[in-house]
Amino acid sequence: MPDLRELLHFYAEAGVDSPLEDVPVDRFAVEPARAPVQAPPARTAPQPERSRPEPQAAAAPALNKTSVPDDTKIALARQLASSATTLEQLREQLASFDGCNLKFTAKNLVFADGNPNAPIMFVGEAPGREEDLEGVPFIGRSGQLLDRMLAAIGLDRTGVYIANTIPWRPPGNRTPTPLETEICRPFFERQIELANPKLLVALGGPAAKALTHAPEGILRLRGNWKTHGTAAGIDIPVMPTLHPAYLLRNAAQKRFAWRDFIAVKMQLRTLTQ
């Protein structure tokens, strides 16, 4: 029989570092008993299956279907605008038109101000808060600055016609969406056609792009004569310039607007001689 000391030394070299229990333990029988305890975490792993609201994104195609009614609204706007033979009729058609969602959040229709027989027409983008309350374009702080700019070249509201590409105030003065602009486009294009000015002044980038379809920003466009073509085939010179609201925030840019207005004055003098 081997010596106990030698046996312990053999076990130590074999890697045995703890004594055996008095009662044998069947490890194969114990492990299955523990398996159910470990199973729940494994089963909860596929939990993303439960919170799968992403398939709701399948509702996106339904949004695309709105393109059909949107196209219908644009077609209706064209039909109503083209049927107007006077500016007053156009105003009535616009007031009865429900195809633009901005109408339902605005307080008033902001159609125009000034003299519709004037040789020069100023076009902005959309009404602000004061304009929405009064139903008149450019009567807030930016409108007061526009009046001073007009006076600087010998004009006032009795000698100009003023309108916007969008006749209703967007909520919170946000930028009109491309769809809203396209729905309103037939009306402001018909408004220009009926007013028949000799010269257009686009106040700000959105108005300049709506009138000329130029891709450049207003800082590149301003000071450069462009052209607006009417449905009747008449080309009207357009001077893109900085919006008065922009000038209120960037007074240093007023010198550029002054140059644009001087160019407008000289061109107007040439066209009305």
pLDDT of residue 9: 60
- Residue 184: per-residue pLDDT: 97
pLDDT for position 273 = 80
Q: Please list the ranges in the chain whose pLDDT falls under 50.
A: 32-33, 35-37, 46, 48-68
Cα torsion 81, 77, 124, 269: sign: negative
Q: What is the pLDDT of residue 272?
A: 84
pLDDT for position 23: 61
Contacts with 94 (C-beta within 8 Å, 6 or more apart), sequence order: 80, 109, 111, 167, 187
Cα-trace Rg, the chain: 37
Query: Which DSSP string corresponds to 97-124?
Result: ----GGGGT-SS----EE-TT-SEEEEE
Q: What is the pLDDT of residue 16?
A: 57
Domains of the chain by start residue, with CATH:
69-272 (3.40.470.10)
At 105 the pLDDT is 96
Q: What is the pTM of this model?
A: 0.74
Q: What is the pLDDT of residue 56?
A: 45
Q: How far apart are CA 5 and CA 156, in angstroms?
A: 118
Measure the CA–CA gap between 122 and 207, rounded to whole angstroms.
Answer: 10
For residue 3, the model assigns a pLDDT of 65
